[in-house]
Amino acid sequence: MSQVVLVVDDDPVQRRLVEAMVQRFGYEVLTADSGDAALTLLTGGNPIDAVVLDLVMPDLDGLGVLARLRDAGIGTPVIVQTAHGGIDNVVSAMRAGAADFVVKPVGPERLQVSLRNALAAKALAGELQRIKRKQEGTLTIDDVISRSPAMQSVLRAVEKAAASVIPVLIEGESGVGKELIARAIHGSGGRRAKPFIAVNCGALPETLVESILFGHEKGAFTGATEKHTGKFIEADGGTLFLDEVGELPLPAQVKLLRALQEGEVEPVGGRKSVKVDVRIVSATNRDLIADVKASRFREDLFYRLHVFPVNVPPLRRRPEDVPELTRHFLTRIAAEEGKRVRAITGEALALLSRYRWPGNVRQLENTVFRAVVLADGEEIGVSEFPQIAAQIDDDNATPVQPALEPVTALIDPWVAREASLAPAERHSLAGMGPTLRLTDTRGEVRPLEDIESEVIRFALSHYRGQMSEVARRLKIGRSTLYRKLEELELDGKEAPIKVNGAIGAP
Ligand SMILES: Nc1ncnc2c1ncn2[C@@H]1O[C@H](COP(=O)(O)OP(=O)(O)OP(=O)(O)O)[C@@H](O)[C@H]1O
Ligand SMILES: [Mg+2]
């Protein structure tokens, strides 16, 4: 869908000239022969992305149009056209909110640059609103882009959590959007007018952790030349976001637990505790339960933080989000880079949706960035994603039996980790999806055939026996599927074996 430019001029020849130029740039053109006609179009809800406006017209002139637009709160960028020597008018027009001006007769290059800048500024204006909300701590759940059912249900839970002060632990791989969600929780709750303070627990020097979190008195230790308010006190009344909370050293964990239990902190070298009222949202991309098992993370603290766990699924589990996120990043980055890219082919979107995205949304954002920089035209295609295309080809060319693919796809770190847990622990991770046991009761690796059979049985039950869907998801042909059903003596109606709500070996 191309962007729409409205050309306003009472002189038919001038109007046709500009119209032809703008069409050649690849925009759609609407025309108006008077200020009044232009206003009717602009206020009538037509999707108009930019206006090229003649200043001198009978009745309602260009300045009049600008004034009416401003009164109506319409921010569509306007480029004014002025005759030679009309400098006073230009000044008035710029004051009245015009985005740029060009002198008649305008050359195509000048007009194209001007339009491109105006449109980029418009796309950025939307993004600026988001950035502004981010700075003010008023990003909300609506700012988290998602189409997939998986993410939608996560966001519904997040919305409920946001309305209370329940401690939230956000779990998920790197780059899935944990921090964005933490900010959205803050911005959607009753504390939105209060500070959102983020601390990256993994980046704190070990010797300063306590002082940074809880503050210190002047002279508390060598180098403490000034009194320092800790992050807890800074966040008073608002939200403290403990990012990478699993990285906290044990002594700091003890103090954190105490602060959470008592609702007060004790600055290093201080004599008395200070009452604080903070909401805690924490995040981790580590396996905190494994850390608890290995005594790297205090169990009591884990349960304090883990009151409301939120699992953000990796991007490969929600491919429906890929097109929406891609378009969003494309608009923003193209504007930032001043490129005229504004569309992506369906083929390229399909390619991106098939990729596994080990670096999740952050990787997608960087990939779109590269593509925008590479792009020459207005549309990005498959050729702008050489790495992704190559990796997908590699995946497909791997010389393994096709049936192995779905199995390896299931064995990602979450699943493998869960498979190694005792049933009770596995229970606490419920909601992360079904699991596949890789070892038998004696701890030996299970035969490939068993695993394959289990995956197929699960897929059959998961897609309620819809064979084409099962084949599509397993990325095997229907005939291969039928052959395997025969080999494995499955009849297509098998139900999976359930162990503690998870799919597992008997
Ligand atoms: N659903 C989304 N909608 C819009 N932008 C998103 C979404 N998810 C992630 N992003 C963007 O992707 C980038 C990575 O997100 P974020 O920093 O929140 O991830 P993270 O899970 O905290 O990663 P890490 O574990 O590496 O710290 C950010 O620029 C963020 O704005
Ligand atoms: Mg983060």
Q: Which of 397, 423, 448 is the last residue of a domain?
A: 397
Q: Beginning with the edge strand found earlier in the chain, give each strand of the sheet holding 78-82 in spatial order.
A: 28-32, 4-8, 50-54, 78-82, 100-103
For ligand 1, whether the C-beta of 144 sits within 6 Å is: yes
Q: What is the pLDDT of residue 405?
A: 31
Please check the confidence at residue 504 and state whether its pLDDT lies above 70: no
494: which 2 tokens?
A: 């098998």
386 and 443 together in one domain: no
Q: What is the pLDDT of residue 2?
A: 65
Please check the confidence at residue 1 and state whether its pLDDT lies above 70: no
Tell me what the pLDDT averaged over the chain comes to. Answer: 83
From 139, 179, 315, mutation site for ligand 1 pocket: most ligand atoms within 8 A of C-beta:
179
| HSE-CB of 444 using CA atoms within 13 angstroms | 5
Residues ≥6 apart with Cβ < 8 Å to 97: 66, 69, 70, 78
Q: What is the pLDDT of residue 172?
A: 96
Q: What is the pLDDT of residue 272?
A: 86
Q: What is the pLDDT of residue 180?
A: 95
In degrees rounded to 5, what are phi and psi of residue 90?
A: -60, -45
In a domain, 442, yes or no: yes
In this structure, the residue with its CA closest to atom 16 of ligand 1 is 177
Q: The CATH number of the domain where 112 resides is what?
A: 3.40.50.2300
For ligand 1, whether the C-beta of 281 sits within 6 Å is: no
Q: State pLDDT tens for residues 104-128.
A: 888 898 999 899 888 877 766 767 7
From the CA of 363, how far away is ligand 1's center (Å)?
Answer: 10
Q: State pLDDT tens for residues 465-491.
A: 778 888 888 888 877 888 888 777 665
pLDDT, mean of residues 256-279: 90
pLDDT, mean of residues 237-249: 95
Q: Which of 293, 311, 329 is the last residue of a domain?
A: 311
In this structure, the residue with its CA closest to atom 12 of ligand 1 is 362
Q: Angle of helix 321-337 relative to helix 108-135, nearest 10 degrees?
A: 120
For ligand 1, whether the C-beta of 111 sits within 6 Å is: no
Please check the confidence at residue 415 and state whether its pLDDT lies above 50: no
Residue 176 CA, closest ligand 1 atom number: 21
Residue 175 CA, closest ligand 1 atom number: 23
Q: State pLDDT tens for residues 320-333.
A: 999 989 988 998 88
The residue range of the domain holding 416 is 404-503
Q: What is the pLDDT of residue 404?
A: 32
In a domain, 148, yes or no: no
For ligand 1, whether the C-beta of 361 sits within 6 Å is: yes
Q: State pLDDT tens for residues 18-44.
A: 999 999 988 899 999 999 999 999 998
For ligand 1, whether the C-beta of 175 sits within 6 Å is: yes
122 and 207 together in one domain: no
How confident is residue 161, by pLDDT bands cut at 50, 70 and 90?
Answer: very high
pLDDT, mean of residues 121-145: 76
435 and 349 together in one domain: no
Q: What is the pLDDT of residue 185?
A: 96
Q: Indicate the range of 111-125, 163-177, 331-345, 488-502 predicted with least confidence.
A: 488-502
Q: What is the pLDDT of residue 373?
A: 87
Q: What is the pLDDT of residue 408?
A: 31
294 and 339 together in one domain: no
300 and 170 together in one domain: yes
> Higher confidence at residue 337 or residue 177?
177
From the CA of 124, how far away is ligand 1's center (Å)?
Answer: 19
381 and 499 together in one domain: no
Q: From residue 320, give the alpha-carbon distance in Å to each of 113, 323, 389.
A: 35, 7, 19
417 and 302 together in one domain: no
> Higher confidence at residue 235 or residue 73?
235
From 362, 364, 366, 369, mutation site for ligand 1 pocket: most ligand atoms within 8 A of C-beta:
362
228 and 101 together in one domain: no
In this structure, the residue with its CA closest to atom 29 of ligand 1 is 362
Please check the confidence at residue 87 and state whether its pLDDT lies above 90: no
286 and 332 together in one domain: no
Looking at all shown ligands, the one closest to residue 310's CA atom is: 1
Q: What is the pLDDT of residue 490?
A: 66
127 and 226 together in one domain: no
Looking at all shown ligands, the one closest to residue 363's CA atom is: 1
Q: What is the pLDDT of residue 427?
A: 37
Q: State pLDDT tens for residues 356-412.
A: 999 999 999 999 999 998 888 888 999 999 889 888 877 665 444 333 333 333 333
Looking at all shown ligands, the one closest to residue 368's CA atom is: 1
For ligand 1, whether the C-beta of 198 sits within 6 Å is: no
For ligand 1, whether the C-beta of 176 sits within 6 Å is: yes
380 and 490 together in one domain: no
Query: Long-range contacts made by residues 377-381, C-beta under 8 angstroms, separation at least 24?
Result: 377/340, 377/341, 378/2, 378/26, 378/340, 378/341, 378/342, 378/343, 379/341, 379/342, 379/343, 379/344, 379/345, 380/330, 380/341, 380/343, 380/344, 380/345, 380/348, 381/344, 381/345, 381/347, 381/348
Q: Percentage of the chain surpassing pLDDT 70? A: 86
In a domain, 149, yes or no: no
Q: Indicate the range of 107-111, 170-174, 311-315, 494-498 predicted with least confidence.
A: 494-498
For ligand 1, whether the C-beta of 246 sits within 6 Å is: no
For ligand 1, whether the C-beta of 332 sits within 6 Å is: no
pLDDT, mean of residues 337-341: 83
User: How many separate domains does the chain show?
Assistant: 4
Q: What is the pLDDT of residue 96?
A: 86
How far is residue 38's CA from residue 78's CA, in Å, rounded to a whole number? Answer: 12
- Cα angle, residue 148 at apex, residues 241 and 322 outer, rounded to 5°: 85
How confident is residue 236, by pLDDT bands cut at 50, 70 and 90?
Answer: very high
Residue 170 CA, closest ligand 1 atom number: 21
225: which 2 tokens?
A: 């030349």
Q: State pLDDT tens for residues 187-233.
A: 999 999 999 999 999 888 888 888 899 998 888 787 777 888 899 99
Please check the confidence at residue 314 and state whether its pLDDT lies above 60: yes
In this structure, the residue with its CA closest to atom 18 of ligand 1 is 177
168 and 262 together in one domain: yes
Q: Which of 344, 367, 397 is the last residue of a domain?
A: 397
